[in-house]
Amino acid sequence: MTMLRVRDLYVRFGGVVALDRVSMDLNRGEILGLIGPNGAGKTTLFNCISGVVQPEAGRIIFEGRSLRLVPPHERARRGIARTFQNLQLWGSMTVLENLSVPMDALGRRSTLADALGNPLSRFAERATVERARAILHVLDLESYADKLAGDLPAGIQRRVEIARALAMRPKLLLLDEPAAGLDASETRHLAELLHTVRNRFHVSMLLVDHDMSLVMRVCDYVYVLDFGKLLARGRPADIRTDKKVIAAYLGEPASETTEAPSGGAQEAVVVPIDTAGGVHAPASSSGAPLLEVSKLAAGYGPLEVIRDVNLVVRPGEIVACIGANGAGKTTTLRAISGVVKPRAGRVTFDGRDLTGRAPEHIAALGLAHIPEGRGLFPRMSVEDTLLLASDNTGSRVDIRIAFEAFPRLKQRRMQAVGTLSGGEQQMVAIARALLAGPKLVMVDEMSQGLAPTIVQQLFEILAVLRRQGIAVLLVEQFVEAALDVADRAYIFEHGTVGHEAPAAELRGDRKLISGSYLGSAVDDGAAIPAAANGNGHRPHVELLETLALKVPPAVKRAIEERAEQEGRPAGAIALELLEGAKK
C-alpha cells in the first residue's frame, strides 16, 4: 500500500497560487526527493503534509486515512515527524534532553506520577533514556549526549534534529533542508546516515533540499515542482538530464527569451544611457582589481553558510555568481556589503579594507548593493525613492538621469513603489543605485518573479554600466542570460567557489553548469512525464481485494513504471510476474 498519497493539492495565498493541482505518491520504505527552483512550492507542499498549512482543495492520505483537518500534533502521533530548515533545537538543554522531551510527550507521562516516584514512571524514564542513547549511537552522536545543543557546530546540530525527529518513532520523516550549511564532506556523511536511518528504523522519508549532491545520492525517486506545478518526476539519473528540469533551474537560453510577442512590437522599458564622454573599455584580465575577496567566511547564528570564498572583480567588468540555491551566493554579497559580519577573511574595495565596516560606510565608498527582493519602501513614491540616493552622494541627485534610462519610471514618478509591477520595481532599484554614482553594483536575483522578456531588457542596462566603467557583481538564476552579458563567472558549491572561468567558456559547457545545479549527469534519459494521478500507480481494485503483497519499494516502483509505460494496471503486471516465477 502506498504510504502517502497526495492528490490534486491546491493552495493559494492571496492572488499567488502556491500549489496548482499537485499529486504525489510516496511508497513505504522510499526516500523521495522534492526539488525545484525558488518559489516552486516545495515548502508549501511540505507544510500541507505536516499540517501547518491547510489546502483549499485536494486530498492527503496517510496509511489509508485522510489527513483533512487533522492538526499537526495528531499527525505526529500518527507517525509523521519533521525537521526544520532553521534549526529548532532547545539550545539550553543537552542533546539527550532534546531527544527525551518528544518521547515523554508521546508517552503521556504524568508529572504527578513522576513526583511521587511511581514505579511505572521510573521504568518509562529509563526506557526513554535507553532509546535516546540508542538513536544517538546510530547517528554517531554518543559523545555529544551530555553537551548543550546550542554549543554544538551546525553540522552536529543538523544530526541532532534528525535524531530528535526519530525519537518520536515516526513512520514518515519529513526532512527540510538537512544539508543547509554543510560542506561537501559533511553532506556525504549525512547521505550515508540517511540510508542507515532508513534501514535501522524502517522509516520512509520525504526530502526537500537544494543540495543536489545529497538528493541525487540518497533519493530513490524525485519529483520536480516549478511555479506550483508538477514539472517532472523520475529516477535521479533521469531527472539530471531532463530538459524541462534543466531549463527551470538555469533559465531559457537568451535567444528564446528575446523573442517579441506576436501581434506587434514590444514596448521598450530600458533606453541606453547617453555615454558620450564617459565610455570606458572593460578592464583587461591583468588589471588591478576593484574588489578583492580573500578566504571569506560568514553565516547566521551557529550556521556557517560560506567558507574560504575567493573572488575578484575588476573595473568595468561584469562577474556572475551562479550555483544551486543554498550554495552561499546571497550570503557572499551580504558579507561584502556589510549586511552580514564576516567571521574570517578579508574584503578589499578600491584599495581599502572593508572587512567588518558598517553598510552605510561601504555604500559611501561607491559600492551599491541591490538585495534580493529589491529593498524598496512600498509606500514611498518613485521620485522620493530615487532621491534617497542623495544620502550617499551628499548632494541632491539629478533624477532626470534615471528617467532617461527608464522612461516608464517618469510616467509613474508620483506613484507608490508598492503598486508597481515587479519589473518596474526592479527598474527603480537599479535606477536608485545608478544615481549614487557607484564604482561597483552588486545585484542579487534581478530576474526574480519577472517574465523572461522583461528580464532580457533589464540585462541590457548591465551592458551599458560596463561601457561606463561601472563594474557589476551579479547573482542570477537566469544562468543563460547572465553568462551572455558577463565577462567571467564563479560557480558556487557547498558554500565556497567550486569553479571559475570566462563566461564564454562556460556558455559552451552546459554539462558543467547543469551539473552544478543537478549533480553530475550520468546516463542520458528523460524523466517520466507528469500525470494527473501521481506516479502512474493505477491499482486494480479487484486484485487488491484478493491479493496483498509486501515487496521492497524499489520493486513496487518498478512495477508501477512498467504499468504506466504499457498502459496496464499495476496489479496485472504483478500477477504476470508471479505467474512467470511459478513457471
**Set of cell numbers at residue 29:** 520504505
- CA distances to 256, 294, 340, 359 from 355, rounded to whole Å, are 41, 10, 10, 11
Pull the grid cell for residue 219.
533519493
Q: Per-residue pLDDT tens for 139-185?
A: 888 899 889 988 888 778 888 888 988 888 889 999 988 887 777 78
Residue of 367, 368, 329 lying closest to 350 (CA atoms): 367
422 — phi, psi (to 5°)? Answer: -60, -40
Q: What pLDDT band is residue 294 in, cutting at 50, 70 and 90?
A: very high
pLDDT score of 59: 93
Residue boundaries of the structural domains of the chain: 92-168, 269-518, 545-582
Which of 105-109, 195-199, 350-354, 525-529 has the highest average model confidence (pLDDT)?
350-354
pLDDT value for 255: 39
Q: Residue 464: is its pLDDT beyond 50?
A: yes
Average pLDDT over residues 129-134: 86
Please give the helix or strand (H or E) that residue 502 lies within, else none: strand 496-502
All 3 cell numbers of residue 205? 522519508
Percentage above 90 pLDDT, the chain = 25
Q: Which tens digit of pLDDT belongs to each residue from 18-74?
A: 899 999 999 988 999 998 877 788 888 989 999 999 999 999 999 989 998 899 989
Return the H-helix or E-strand segment holding 385: helix 382-387
Class in CATH terms, 269-518: alpha beta
For residue 96, pLDDT over 80 is answered with yes
Residue 11, beta-bridge partner list: 19
Q: Check pLDDT > 90 for residue 124.
A: no
CA geometry: angle 487, 281, 290, nearest 5 deg: 65
